[in-house]
Amino acid sequence: MLYIVIAFLFLAIVLYFLLGGADFGAGIIELFTSDRNKDRTRKTMYHAIGPIWEANHMWLIITVVILFVGFPDIYSNMCTYLHIPLLIMLLGITARGTAFAFRNYDAIKDDKTQGFYNRIFVYSSFVTPLFLGIIAGSAISGQINLQATSFMDAYIYSWLNWFSVTVGLFTVALSGYLAAVYLIGETEDDNERQRFVRKARIMNILVVIFGGLVFIAAEIENIRLAHWIFGNAISLTAVISAAISLLVLWLFIYYGKKKIIRVFAAFQVTMILLSVGYTHFPNLIMVKGGQNLSLLANHAPAKTIEDLGLGLLIGSVLILPSLFYLFYSFQKKNELV
Amino acid sequence: MNDFIAARSQMAISLGFHIVYSCIGMVMPVFMAISHYKWIKTGNPVYKNITQAWSKGVAIFFATGAVSGTILSFELGLLWPKFMEHAGPIFGMPFSLEGVAFFIEAIALGFFLYGWNRFNNWFHWCTGIIVGISGIASGILVVSANSWMNSPSGFDYVNGQYLNIDPVKAMFNGSWFSESLHMTIAAFAATGFAVAGIHALMIARKKNIQFHTKAFKIAVVFGAAAAIIQPFSGYLSARNAARRQPAKLAAMEAYFHTRQYAPLVLGGVADTANKKVKYGIEIPGLLSFLVNDNFKNPVNGLDKIPVKDQPPITITHLAFDLMITIGSAIMLIGLLYFVALWKKRSWLSKKWFLNLFILSTPLGFIAVEAGWTVTEVGRQPWIIQGVMRTSEAVTPMPGIHYSFYLFTVIYFTLSIAVIFLLSRQIKMVPQLYDKVN
């Protein structure tokens, strides 16, 4: 049952990256769209994510719940040593979620308040994945120091280092890239599609640049990232297949395929997560000078894992089909309209 | 402000606001489904207009409730890591199920809000009902988790170790039923009166009278019925507290000295220095009767509890009295409504009658906050009753007062924003939802 729970944990994390990440990405795309085209982009975006965005963010809740029920040591250490980035991420989530809902449900759509919501929405869409990335980066960076005695060592340097920050920027670029690729298939307007293709290209370049920076930062901080990723067959295969699928994706875009490319983009992100996740498994949090926090060693008692696994299995029977139907029906109806 | 007080204040602020968003978020979908049903059955467009107008409110509250719920799921760890480290595996079961219920609610809400003219009417209606059911289920599950802190079970606490953990037993702890029942009814009473009050105000201002009258009726029937049955569930809760948390009950009643024919004290101010209640009205034997089913047997007072294990008495007592006073008031108003409905229909459009409801708009929520204060402050100094002290659970990170100020600002801003949006929704009813009337 422990492995089922762990599988759900990874599933929730991957889906949050793919779906929640694309949501943040939509805000990032909006941030980098010229004023002339903003309204149009906003409309397409709303059309695409309106019905599903609340559900997309539930994966974060599922992740947190699995962590605190099943792996309480890991959760409480994360919450203690990454308190500050978690707090900033929460601010981002709050600002973003409410601004998105408010701008759609404000009964009077005057420019002044709409502009206000838009600004909050786009900036928080940038900040939230940045800090999500920083948190993820910090978890694997090995900079968390359980023996720290000073405030700076315990609560600041655990996450404020070159590696975590570049992982944050990489996450932002990845979110923007996902959103741009998803949005290519959401519009029937050729000019707009060209715009999204351009955005996807820029974001793709940024992904590569920031990915490179992550490696450089890892060198600076003495993190053996290259070894993690190229040092074992599965991680290496994952990265290589992501790279190959990137070429295929641009080929498909060139030939005007709009929907299938999403699968490739999602595949690439999943492969990146897989390559990092696999090399560290079963450890989830690397710590400085101590025992890493492991999913296989630091879990809740067997009875809890048993019940949690059962709850997740039953829950997924209810959630996954209805979620699938939600995506399906709005995708289909959007095509008809 | 020290870090411990800051952490408690931040938690109080977060829950204090979240409880309002989530009560409305779980009850409004039920109102919405009723009016939706009436539209499908009668074909009267006014009901469709009401459903659409309310669904906007639901969306606003759901979004706010969802983010404040996300904040809370992290705050548990950010502020109380030691508590979560031990309690997570024990009382986490209802949280994981709540995660599922909440997820289903989000999916159903997506269908409902964007499903107008896209789906078959009954399918669409069902998605609305699912929003309501999963919302209420979420509420019950979260309150069950809280009730575990009041009556911990499902583990053995041996030499500081938590052994033989059974999450299912922990979920169905001794207080889960009385506490969830009390909270669910409270949510209906508070939301019912709040919604009815706003529509009553619009009727009094002679705006879209037909629309607001129908909306008022749906809300007030639930609110009034809930307010009338609430004292019975309150009785169950109080008896449960007497059995499992005698210190809480004694603090609620500011009941200092154990004695026979224990009196129930109405009102009054607790004088903790002299261990007595000033200006209260005593009804001899009633507390004994409520707790023991007879007027004579003694009820344990605060003198039986070591001072270091006593909750803050003044606050708990005051909050309890406030809750009881408001509860009684809205119960009477509720009764009056049913009298009017059956015997005195002319009252329904009278100015004084509407004013009564306008004035009671916030009352239910004040009672909810007071009741929440009773249960949380009344449990102190424990975070897990009798097992772990709140002060042992707090995060080692210094400077929590900054995060307390920050969250206070956030929650006030959010609430102002929600009120602003709702007032704009109400202002636009004639243009957006009810054009003909």
pLDDT of residue A336: 47
Nearest Cβ partner for A98 among B67, B110, B168 = B67
Percent of chain B residues topping a pLDDT of 70: 100
pLDDT of residue B326: 93
Across chain A, mean pLDDT equals 84
Q: Across residues B35-56, what is the average pLDDT?
A: 89
**Cross-chain Cβ contact A308/B93 below 8 Å:** yes
If pLDDT is split at 50, 70 and 90, which confidence band does B19 have? Answer: very high
Please state, in angstroms and rounded to a whole number, the distance separating the CA atoms of residues B436 and B405.
47
Nearest Cβ partner for A50 among B89, B114, B118 = B114
Please state, in angstroms and rounded to a whole number, the distance separating the CA atoms of residues B409 and B413.
6
pLDDT of residue B154: 85
**Cross-chain Cβ contact B97/A77 below 8 Å:** no
Contacts A–B by Cβ distance under 8 A = 203
Report the chain B residue with the minimal C-alpha distance to residue A332: B118
Q: Is a pLDDT exceeding 80 seen at residue A114?
A: yes
Report the chain B residue with the minimal C-alpha distance to residue A76: B81
CB B179 within 8 A of CB B375: yes
Q: How confident is the model over A169-194, as pLDDT tens digits?
A: 999 999 998 888 888 877 777 888 88
CB A265 within 8 A of CB A178: yes
**Cross-chain Cβ contact A60/B70 below 8 Å:** yes
**Cross-chain Cβ contact B92/A308 below 8 Å:** yes
If pLDDT is split at 50, 70 and 90, which confidence band does B35 have? Answer: very high
CB A143 within 8 A of CB A285: no
Bigger pLDDT: A95 vs A56: A95
**Cross-chain Cβ contact A318/B104 below 8 Å:** yes
pLDDT of residue B219: 93
3-state secondary structure of B389: strand
Q: How confident is the model over B2-15, as pLDDT tens digits?
A: 889 999 999 999 99
Report the chain B residue with the minimal C-alpha distance to residue A102: B60
**Cross-chain Cβ contact A54/B86 below 8 Å:** no
**Cross-chain Cβ contact B84/A75 below 8 Å:** yes
**Cross-chain Cβ contact B66/A68 below 8 Å:** no
Q: Give the distance from residue B6's alpha carbon to the nearest chain A alpha carbon, in angstroms.
A: 15
Q: How confident is the model over B58-74, as pLDDT tens digits?
A: 888 888 888 888 898 88
CB-based contact, A151 to chain B, within 8 Å: yes
Q: Across residues B18-41, what is the average pLDDT?
A: 92
User: Which position has the token pair 């009016």?
Assistant: B35
- Lowest-pLDDT range, A123-132, B128-137, B198-207? B198-207
Please state, in angstroms and rounded to a whole number, the distance separating the CA atoms of residues A4 and A9.
9
Q: How many residues make up chain A in this entry?
A: 337
- End-to-end Cα spacing for chain B: 55
**Cross-chain Cβ contact A315/B99 below 8 Å:** yes
Q: Across residues B388-405, what is the average pLDDT?
A: 89
Q: How many residues make up chain B in this entry?
A: 437
If pLDDT is split at 50, 70 and 90, which confidence band does A332 have? Answer: low
Q: How confident is the model over B187-212, as pLDDT tens digits?
A: 999 999 999 999 999 888 888 888 88
Q: Give the distance from residue A331's alpha carbon to the nearest chain B alpha carbon, in angstroms.
A: 12
Q: Is a pLDDT exceeding 50 seen at residue B16?
A: yes
Q: Is the pTM of this model over 0.80?
A: yes
For an interface test with A, give the residue of B76, B107, B392, B395 to mutate (most A CBs within 10 A): B107
Nearest Cβ partner for B89 among A72, A80, A318 = A72
pLDDT of residue B374: 93
CA B169 from chain centre, in angstroms, equals 24
3-state class percentages of chain A: helix first, strand second, coil last, to nearest 5:
80, 0, 20
From chain B, the residues in CB contact with A57 under 8 A are 66, 70, 106
Rounded to 5 degrees, φ, ψ at B259 are: -160, 165
pLDDT of residue A334: 56
CA B373 from chain centre, in angstroms, equals 11
Please state, in angstroms and rounded to a whole number, the distance separating the CA atoms of residues B280 and A164.
61
Percent of chain B residues topping a pLDDT of 90: 36
Please state, in angstroms and rounded to a whole number, the distance separating the CA atoms of residues B83 and A130.
29
pLDDT of residue B437: 54
Percent of chain A residues topping a pLDDT of 90: 15
Please state, in angstroms and rounded to a whole number, the distance separating the CA atoms of residues A130 and A24.
10
From chain B, the residues in CB contact with A75 under 8 A are 77, 84-85, 88
Six-digit token string for A135:
């948190």
Could you tell me where the DSSP H helices lie in A71-142?
72-81, 83-105, 111-141
**Cross-chain Cβ contact B396/A80 below 8 Å:** yes
CB-based contact, A83 to chain B, within 8 Å: yes
pLDDT of residue B436: 61
Q: Is a pLDDT exceeding 60 seen at residue A335?
A: no
Nearest Cβ partner for B104 among A65, A69, A322 = A322
Strands B388-389 and B382-384: antiparallel
CB-based contact, A88 to chain B, within 8 Å: no
Please state, in angstroms and rounded to a whole number, the distance separating the CA atoms of residues A146 and A152.
13
Q: How confident is the model over A6-59, as pLDDT tens digits?
A: 999 999 999 998 888 888 888 888 888 877 777 777 878 777 776 677 777 888
Neighbouring CB atoms inside 10 A of A328's CB total 10
Q: Across residues A49-73, what is the average pLDDT?
A: 83
The DSSP result for B245-301, as a single string, is: -HHHHHHHHT--S-BSSPPEEES-EEETTTTEEESPEEETTHHHHHHHSSSSS-B--
- Lowest-pLDDT range, A86-90, A112-116, B271-275? B271-275
From chain B, the residues in CB contact with A333 under 8 A are 118
Please state, in angstroms and rounded to a whole number, the distance separating the CA atoms of residues B140 and A137.
37
Report the chain B residue with the minimal C-alpha distance to residue A154: B397
pLDDT of residue B180: 93
If pLDDT is split at 50, 70 and 90, which confidence band does B136 have? Answer: very high
Q: Is the dihedral of CA B76, B77, B82, B87 positive or negative?
A: positive
